[in-house]
């Protein structure tokens, strides 16, 4: 009986330890948020031109109550999802082709590097002239921001695959298609997912400027409109909304990364 009890205690100890380790980051996150809000409130009370948290909450309640915030968030989220989704869908195969085929790398890489030096925001005037003022140019500049971030990461993932793994697969009789599917893609997945997370951040960062293009709704549009009237609480509501939506999407990608790369050693 004593042996069973001690064995059960020994088994439950690691479980409690793992549970404690998982809960600690959440506690630290909560403490960090509380400290951030306290600092914000202190700066506003000290005379800085910032709205206080209650003022922002009150404005958020108003915008939620009349449906404005939901409409703006949906419009912005739709633009980001479409632009980011298209950018990722194009970036992954292009990055694979650049990394796997030297000829294509030589043809494509100069253009990738060239456009990487041009901020997507600088493309807005050209996008307006070429595509008009509807949703197309807005989605295009978001697409470009996500694509350029993700394609480089995917390319680096392919070229960094251990050659020993590829050579071992060839010795075992695997063809290019099998090596690509069984070796290159799994080894490149962590790089792709990191590129997607960076691309997602770039997409949200480009959103506000993209909504300069004759937008009638959206978080960026609402913030720019509020700027004209020095409406700081509305600007803060937009900033916080973008941050929360971006954070939630990033958590989804992080969860996907952990599930798809369980084979990796982690700290």
Tell me: the pLDDT tens digits for 21-80?
Answer: 666 778 888 898 899 899 988 988 887 888 888 999 999 999 999 999 999 999 999 999
Asked whether the predicted pLDDT for residue 13 surpasses 80, the reply is: no
Give the number of other Cβ atoms within 10 Å of residue 86's Cβ. 17
Looking at residue 267, its pLDDT comes to 55
Using pLDDT thresholds of 50, 70 and 90, give the confidence band for residue 10.
very low
Of 157, 146, 150, the closest CA to residue 186 belongs to 157
Of 188, 219, 236, the closest CA to residue 92 belongs to 188
Looking at residue 21, its pLDDT comes to 60
Q: Do 109 and 240 meet the contact criterion of CB atoms below 8 Å apart?
A: no
* pTM for the predicted model, two decimal places: 0.80
Looking at residue 263, its pLDDT comes to 61
Of 210, 232, 233, the closest CA to residue 220 belongs to 210
Separation of alpha carbons 136 and 242, rounded Å: 21
Q: Do 151 and 115 meet the contact criterion of CB atoms below 8 Å apart?
A: no
Condensed to tens digits (0 to 9), the pLDDT of residues 102-146 reads 888 889 888 888 888 888 778 888 888 888 778 888 899 999 999
Asked whether the predicted pLDDT for residue 5 surpasses 90, the reply is: no
**DSSP annotation of 215:** -
Condensed to tens digits (0 to 9), the pLDDT of residues 163-205 reads 787 778 788 777 777 777 788 888 888 888 888 888 898 898 8
CATH for the 52-260 domain, from 1.10.3720.10, 1.20.840.10, 3.40.30.10, 1.20.140.150: 1.10.3720.10
Once rounded to an integer, what is the mean pLDDT over residues 207-229? 84
Residues contacting residue 186 through CB under 8 Å, at least 6 positions apart: 263
Looking at residue 257, its pLDDT comes to 79
Condensed to tens digits (0 to 9), the pLDDT of residues 238-253 reads 999 999 999 999 988 8
**DSSP annotation of 182:** I
**Helix (H) or strand (E) segment spanning residue 244:** helix 232-260
- At residue 202, φ and ψ (nearest 5 deg) are -65, -35
Delimit the domains of the chain by residue range: 1-50, 52-260
Q: What is the dihedral of CA 203, 204, 206, 207, to 10 degrees?
A: 120
Residues contacting residue 84 through CB under 8 Å, at least 6 positions apart: 142, 143, 146, 199, 200, 203
């Amino acid at each position: 009986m004593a042996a069973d009890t001690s064995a059960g205690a020994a088994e439950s100890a690691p479980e409690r330890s793992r549970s404690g380790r998982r809960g600690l980051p959440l506690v630290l996150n909560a403490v960090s948020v509380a400290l951030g809000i306290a600092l914000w409130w202190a700066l506003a009370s000290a005379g800085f031109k910032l709205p206080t948290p209650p003022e922002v909450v009150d404005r958020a309640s108003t915008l939620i109550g009349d449906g404005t915030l939901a409409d703006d968030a949906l419009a912005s989220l739709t633009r980001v999802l479409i632009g980011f989704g298209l950018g990722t869908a194009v970036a992954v195969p292009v990055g694979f082709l650049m990394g796997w085929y030297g000829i294509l790398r030589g043809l494509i890489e100069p253009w990738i590097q060239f456009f990487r030096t041009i901020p997507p925001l600088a493309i807005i005037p050209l996008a307006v002239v070429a595509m008009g003022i509807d949703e197309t140019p807005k989605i295009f500049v978001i697409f470009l921001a996500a694509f350029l971030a993700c394609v480089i990461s995917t390319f680096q993932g392919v070229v960094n695959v251990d050659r020993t793994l590829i050579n071992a697969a060839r010795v075992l009789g695997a063809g290019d298609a099998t090596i690509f599917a069984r070796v290159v893609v799994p080894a490149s997945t962590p790089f792709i997912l990191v590129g997607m997370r960076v691309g997602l951040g770039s997409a949200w960062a480009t959103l506000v400027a993209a909504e300069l293009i004759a937008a009638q709704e959206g978080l960026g549009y609402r913030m720019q409109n509020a700027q004209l009237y020095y409406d700081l609480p509305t600007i803060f509501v937009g900033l916080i909304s973008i941050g929360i939506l971006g954070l939630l999407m990033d958590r989804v990608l992080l969860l996907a990364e952990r599930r798809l790369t369980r084979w990796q050693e982690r700290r």
